[in-house]
Structure 1
Amino acid sequence: MVSKIWIPERRDIIWIDFNPQVGQETKDMHPLLVLSPKEFNDRTRIVIGLPMTTAKSNETNPFAVKFVGEKGKVSYVLAHQPKSFDWRLKGGKPHPWKQASEEVLIQAGEMLNQIIAICE
């Protein structure tokens, strides 16, 4: 029997270890909204994404996209803090919320584009 190896896909929400951290950066295990496609994540072992937090202070953060998970749990996708990690070495694994909606991904992507505006 062949076992299927899990590889994160765009829109997946995964657990990942943000340590080591400095200053005000996110630390410890947190959810990450994956922006990079599965093929990239597999080939490079790197995942690019946006951290998620349940900190209520983000309710008024203009760069946070509200996400409502299972049982109405509110979290925020922090579009102003893109991260890249070696998802295998950083302990990446599926989060119970599985995936963000296409709408949340688009909102977060549009906010990130407003900040970095690489292409117009």
Structure 2
Amino acid sequence: MASRIWVPERCDIIWIDFNPQVGCEMKDLHPLLVLSPKAFNDRTRIVIGLPMTTSESNETNPFAVKFVGAKGKASYVLAHQPKSFDWRLRNAKLHPWKKAPEEVLVLASEMLNQIIRICE
């Protein structure tokens, strides 16, 4: 009997290693809000998403979407830093929060769209 292989899907929060890092990019292990759909992630081995941090310096960041996660911890989705990673080679794992609230995904997507204007 074949075991089911986990594949990240849109709205998942995953742990992923951001290294190697250059300049002011994020580094080390961080959560990532997945934007790309499961079928894309599975076929391409790539996941597209937005990094997340708990750094309070983002409280005044106009490109950060704040939400309160488990245990009342504030977290920020950084809409100005979209990333793509080979999630398998970077050993991505599902974050304990599992999924972001739908409204966080919508706000972060709208903010990213204002920056790069994918659609009207």
Q: Note the C-alpha offset of 1:118.
A: 2.2
Question: Residue 112 of structure 2: SS of its match in structure 1?
Answer: helix
Task: Report the Cα distance in structure 2 between the residues aligned to 1:84 and 1:67, rounded to whole angstroms.
Answer: 23
Question: Residue 59 of structure 1: SS of its match in structure 2?
Answer: helix
Q: Note the C-alpha offset of 1:119.
A: 2.0
Percent identity between the two aligned chains: 82
Q: Note the C-alpha offset of 1:91.
A: 1.4
Task: Report the Cα distance in structure 2 between the residues aligned to 1:67 and 1:11, rounded to whole angstroms.
Answer: 14
User: How many equivalent pairs are there?
Assistant: 120
Q: Note the C-alpha offset of 1:2.
A: 2.5
After TM superposition, the structure 1 = structure 2 runs for residues 44-59 of structure 1, keeping only pairs within 5 Å, are 44-59=44-59
Question: Residue 22 of structure 2: SS of its match in structure 1?
Answer: coil
Task: Report the Cα distance in structure 2 between the residues aligned to 1:103 and 1:20, rounded to whole angstroms.
Answer: 31
Task: Report the Cα distance in structure 2 between the residues aligned to 1:67 and 1:12, rounded to whole angstroms.
Answer: 15
Task: Report the Cα distance in structure 2 between the residues aligned to 1:118 and 1:104, rounded to whole angstroms.
Answer: 19
Matched with 2:73 is 73
Moved over 3 A (4+): none
Task: Report the Cα distance in structure 2 between the residues aligned to 1:88 and 1:5, rounded to whole angstroms.
Answer: 11
- 1:65-89 deviation per Cα after TM superposition (whole angstroms, max 9, x unaligned): 0121110011100000000000000
Matched with 2:93 is 93
Unaligned stretches of 5+ residues in structure 2: none
What TM-score do you get using the length of structure 2 for normalisation? 0.98
Question: Residue 96 of structure 1: SS of its match in structure 2?
Answer: strand
What TM-score do you get using the length of structure 1 for normalisation? 0.98
Task: Report the Cα distance in structure 1 between the residues aligned to 2:2 and 2:69, rounded to whole angstroms.
Answer: 32
Unaligned stretches of 5+ residues in structure 1: none
Measured on the aligned residues, the alpha-carbon RMSD in Å equals 0.7
Matched with 1:13 is 13
